[in-house]
């Protein structure tokens, strides 16, 4: 399986301690842990944090061919404050990942042979990176296009969400984001099944995933809403748990698991990450085996 994530590489400063992250980078890193060929298109600054991020990406198994370097803008950072284990983010603007350049990506070799393309909302807050995303989705074909809504203050709009939904085949959002998106697009709050049915039909989306933390998740596919029970854990921090869920679901689904089984596996992986500190904790062998076992 070959995957290409698009978006932010940044440093999460969690209670004063830096952790390499950003939802697309977390996604790419977790996929690499499962044995996928995993790349990310992003941009870092010509600074110590940027150099360290690129070095660590290789250590995580993420291909760095499409990581660009910006001569003037700094590498992205986010201040994270935990409230009962759940993260609250302050995301700084005018950083390198806001300026991803299409031509720098297109000039690289081997830019068409990927099974999965991943993107989110935050990376579209700036016109430069938004235009590059549009160019990639217009000029390259992918079997699966995964859109993680991942609403962040100042990082989304109705037009961003509408355009993104029109491009994806797999949609993921959390249960708190459902009423926000429902009101934005349909001028009403809907129950989960009605929302999934309507958004799937309107945008021709094959799979709609709604995560609900320790309560599990819901997956809508071929007219059926599957409810998958959650995993009870002692929460350390929730940073990156959703991205781990996404990676485990994609890996399992693309490699032949049905949506319910892929979601059960993804719940286990997301719960494990939430029980550890930081977005990309070390995996014991039994956790990796949960995903990779045939």
pLDDT in tens, 43-74: 999 999 999 999 999 999 999 999 999 999 99
- Report the CATH number at residue 203: 3.40.1190.20
Mean pLDDT of 182-188: 95
Task: Inform me whether the pLDDT recorded for 294 exceeds 70.
Answer: no
Interatomic CA distance for residues 273 and 246, integer angstroms? 12
- pLDDT above 70 (res 111): no
* The pLDDT of residue 90: 86
pLDDT, position 105:
94
Q: Mean pLDDT lowest for which of 11-15, 192-196, 228-232?
A: 11-15
Structurally, how many domains does the chain consist of? Answer: 1
Residue 231, judged by CB atoms within 10 A of its CB (0-12, 13-18, 19+), counts as: middle
In this model, does residue 232 exceed pLDDT 80? yes
Does 137 score more than 80 pLDDT? yes
So what's the pLDDT on residue 226? 97
Q: Percent of the chain scored above 70 by pLDDT?
A: 98
Per the CB < 8 A criterion, the answer to whether 68 and 102 are in contact is no
Domain carrying residue 168: 2-292
In this prediction, residue 13 carries a pLDDT of: 85
Average pLDDT, the chain: 93
Please report the pLDDT score of residue 112 as a whole number: 59
Residue 9 is predicted with a pLDDT of 97
For residue 155, name the pLDDT band (cuts at 50, 70, 90).
confident
Question: Is a pLDDT exceeding 80 seen at residue 195?
Answer: yes
Q: Do 148 and 23 form a contact (C-beta atoms < 8 A)?
A: yes
Q: How confident is the model at residue 255 (pLDDT cuts 50, 70, 90)?
A: very high
Residue scoring higher pLDDT (159 or 279): 159
The four Cα atoms 109, 95, 89, 165 give a dihedral, to 10 degrees, of: -50
What is the C-alpha to C-alpha distance for residues 56 and 40, in angstroms, rounded to an integer?
Answer: 13
Q: Are 95 and 76 in contact (CB under 8 A)?
A: yes
Degrees to nearest 5, angle at CA 270 with 269 and 275: 100
CB contact at 8 A, 7 and 22: yes
**pTM of the entire structure?**
0.94
């Amino acid at each position: 399986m070959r995957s290409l994530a698009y978006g932010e590489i940044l440093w999460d400063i969690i209670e004063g301690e830096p952790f390499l992250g950003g939802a697309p980078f977390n996604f790419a890193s977790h996929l690499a842990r499962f044995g996928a060929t995993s790349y990310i298109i992003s941009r870092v600054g010509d600074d110590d944090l940027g150099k360290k991020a690129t070095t660590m990406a290789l250590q995580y198994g993420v291909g760095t061919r499409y990581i660009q370097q910006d001569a003037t803008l700094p590498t992205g950072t986010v201040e994270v404050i935990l409230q009962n284990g759940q993260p609250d983010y302050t995301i700084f603007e005018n950083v390198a990942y806001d300026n991803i350049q299409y031509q720098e990506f297109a000039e690289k070799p081997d830019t068409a042979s990927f099974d999965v393309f991943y993107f989110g909302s935050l990376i579209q807050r700036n016109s430069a990176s938004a235009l590059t995303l549009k160019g990639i989705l217009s000029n390259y074909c992918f079997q699966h296009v995964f859109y993680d809504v991942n609403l962040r203050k100042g990082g989304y709009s109705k037009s961003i969400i509408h355009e993104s939904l029109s491009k994806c085949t797999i949609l993921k959002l959390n249960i708190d984001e459902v009423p926000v998106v429902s009101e934005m697009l349909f001028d009403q709050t809907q129950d989960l099944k009605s929302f999934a049915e309507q958004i799937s039909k309107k945008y021709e989306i094959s799979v709609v995933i709604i995560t609900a933390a320790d309560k599990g998740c819901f997956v809508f596919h071929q007219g059926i809403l599957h409810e998958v029970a959650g995993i009870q854990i002692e929460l350390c921090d929730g940073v990156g748990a959703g991205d781990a869920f996404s990676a485990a679901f994609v890996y399992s689904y693309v490699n032949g698991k049905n949506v319910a089984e892929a979601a059960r596996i993804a719940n286990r992986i997301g719960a494990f990450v939430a029980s550890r500190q930081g977005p990309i904790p070390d995996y014991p062998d039994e956790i990796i085996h949960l995903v990779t076992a045939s």
